Amino acid sequence: MPQWSLRWRLAPFLLAVLLVGCIRSQITEVEQQSFGTRTFAAGYEKTFAAALDALPALGYQPQFVSAAQGRITTTRRQAGATAGIGLAGTFAAPLFRQYDLRLVRVDAGHTRVVAHPHLYEGERDVSRQAVWQMSGRDGEYEHWRALFAQIEHGCMRQGVPLTQADLQSLGTRTFAAGYEKTFAAASKALPALGYELELANAAQGRITARRQTGAIAHSSLDNPYAIAVFRQYDLQLGRVDPGHTRVVARPRIFEDKRDVSQQAVWRMSGPEGEPEQWRALFAQIELGL
């Protein structure tokens, strides 16, 4: 057989080896318990919320969520491709990753998370086969580490959700001034407090401004790194009558480009708490009237 013909026949096999790399073993029960299970020093509800929030940060979207059952299953995320040989010749099948998380109350202050990974070759579940790369930058140990680090970050957040009642009672103020004057004062108040204006539309009664407040440690599959944290105000102004204008100041928090405002990230007491932030903003607007 000519040498080039042999190489041609072996090409699909060599391609498959290159694509799957070091994938070579099954995930054992010992590995699942040792590396794919973590107990967090946080209550069940907080850990469940942190796990639910961690998945999108790693590229997964929730598909099935049940706090009562202690289960979160994600949609499938593409993770490469594998090549093979069929009756019609060579082919490439996409690979997909999926997580099935099981959460269990250990006690009032501790929650266990078991993260079962699944691997699909096209529509075929091959998770029980010897297809797993366990070490290296893209190995399963590193995937588990990144997931649990992200959940840990969510559990360590100190705060409460911001409610509509908070916004109406503390984040809303009616000023004894006309609309145009109040709009101008609010537009100047935010830069005076360190915010950079992004939008000021008097016709819509909207003002948006943002400022960086710090950075937090973050984990990826490669290395830990820092991401910027931003505070943003979305102000909505409305005419009450010719001499009065209502201002609703909705605060938002972003971790890089990710809006985490709906999570338990708000402090409602102390010098940096949200009531004090609102007080300072409204006092600055009053100063400009």
- Residue with the larger pLDDT of the pair 122 and 85: 122
Q: Tens of pLDDT along 117-165?
A: 999 988 899 989 988 888 888 889 999 999 998 888 888 766 788 899 9
Q: Is the pLDDT of residue 87 over 70?
A: no
Q: Tens of pLDDT along 20-62?
A: 445 568 999 999 999 999 999 888 988 998 898 889 888 899 9
Query: In this predicted structure, which of 1-5, 80-84, 167-171 has the lowest mean pLDDT?
Result: 1-5
Q: Cα–Cα distance between 123 and 119 in angstroms, integer?
A: 10
- Residue with the larger pLDDT of the pair 3 and 149: 149
Mean pLDDT value of segment 211-228: 67
Q: Is the pLDDT of residue 261 over 50?
A: yes
pLDDT reported for residue 24: 65
pLDDT reported for residue 225: 61
Kindly list the distances between the CA atom of residue 159 and the CA atoms of 226, 264, 273, in Å, as whole numbers in the listed order: 21, 5, 10
pLDDT reported for residue 208: 97
Q: What percent of the chain has pLDDT over 70?
A: 83
Q: Is the pLDDT of residue 17 over 50?
A: no
DSSP for residue 108:
T
Q: E-strand spans in the chain? A: 37-40, 62-66, 71-74, 77-86, 89-107, 110-121, 124-125, 172-175, 196-201, 206-218, 225-241, 244-255, 258-259
pLDDT reported for residue 100: 96
Q: Is the pLDDT of residue 223 over 80?
A: no
